Structure 1
Amino acid sequence: MLTPVDDGPAVVACNTCRLSADLREDDQSQRGGARLLAALRAVQQGDARYAGIAVQEMACLFACKDHCTVHLRAPGKVGYVLGRFDADEAAATAILDYAAAYAQSEHGRVPFKEWPQGVKGHFISRTPPAGFVAA
């Protein structure tokens, strides 16, 4: 049930997420999670700043109320679940911009003034790294 992946900084995208709060799929029967995943990969490949951020996928992050969700994680850092994104290049760029700042941070905390506008209002939860709790 578990698939090993690289243990570095990663954006794990739910590939089965709804397209929006109202729609499961687009007019070509593609789910929002699959579209967001494709956008993340396209943006990542087009910009060397994101080379150190893995884009990984899994089915269902159990955040179904909040469509187009991703989990941001890295060893020894607080993780974050974000959602309610449009499945497009602008959202993918904002997510990867935040992920780059996150990867450079000491414990996963990025100062609010450094957050891309496109991630503000999209945080669902934060998760402590194994063996720690966050203050």
Structure 2
Amino acid sequence: MNVTLHVCITCRAGQTLAEGEAAPGALLHAAIAEAGVPDGVNLVPVECLSACSQGCSVALSAPGRWSYVYGRLSAANAADVIAGSAAYAAAADGIVPWRSRPEIFRKQSLARIPPLSAVPEAAE
């Protein structure tokens, strides 16, 4: 099953950028792309994950699995994001055991979203 790793490329991480300066989110995306993502993980740049007050952010999702949003990241965290996405890809339900998560994924989770199949239908 394919996993999607979204990276917010417009994130400024609270910085004021000079004309033409790359956003920290774009630098994170570039670092991940350069290092390479695991098989079965699709790296997708997005323009906003609405976690602006939380620094650079990424989201992991796949059909039928729990989804996660992580924040307070930088290009220096690219290897941990890749390791975390590999662990997520290996977890059938998206829930990676606590000890198997990179430290940044243990401490910097902003949201955990249930799979669509687990969301009950709205009451009328």
Residues 68, 15 of structure 1: CA spacing in aligned structure 2 closer, same or farther, 3 A cutoff? same
Computed over aligned residues only, the root mean square deviation of the Cα atoms, in angstroms, reads 1.9
Residues 28, 113 of structure 1: CA spacing in aligned structure 2 closer, same or farther, 3 A cutoff? same
Which one of the candidate residues 5, 8, 12 is aligned to 2:2? 8
Runs of 4+ deviating beyond 3 Å: 24-28
2:122 alignment counterpart: none
Please state how far the C-alpha of 1:27 moved relative to its aligned partner: 8.9
Q: Which digits, 9 at most, give the CA deviation of each residue in 1:23-58, with x for residues without a partner?
A: 14379611011000001101116xxxx122111011
Q: Count matched residues.
A: 119
* Structure 1 runs not aligned, ≥5 long: 1-6
Which one of the candidate residues 25, 28, 33 is aligned to 1:36? 28
What is the TM-score with the length of structure 2 in the denominator? 0.86
1:70 alignment counterpart: 58
Highest CA radius of gyration, 1 or 2?
Answer: 2
Please state how far the C-alpha of 1:96 moved relative to its aligned partner: 1.2
> Within 1, Cα distance between the matches of 2:17 and 2:26?
10
1:4 alignment counterpart: none
2:46 alignment counterpart: 58
User: What secondary structure, in the 3-state scheme, does the structure 2 residue paired with 1:94 have?
Assistant: helix
* Structure 2 runs not aligned, ≥5 long: 120-124
Task: Give the conservation status (yes or no) of the 8 Å contact 1:25–1:32.
Answer: no
> Within 2, Cα distance between the matches of 1:26 and 1:122?
28
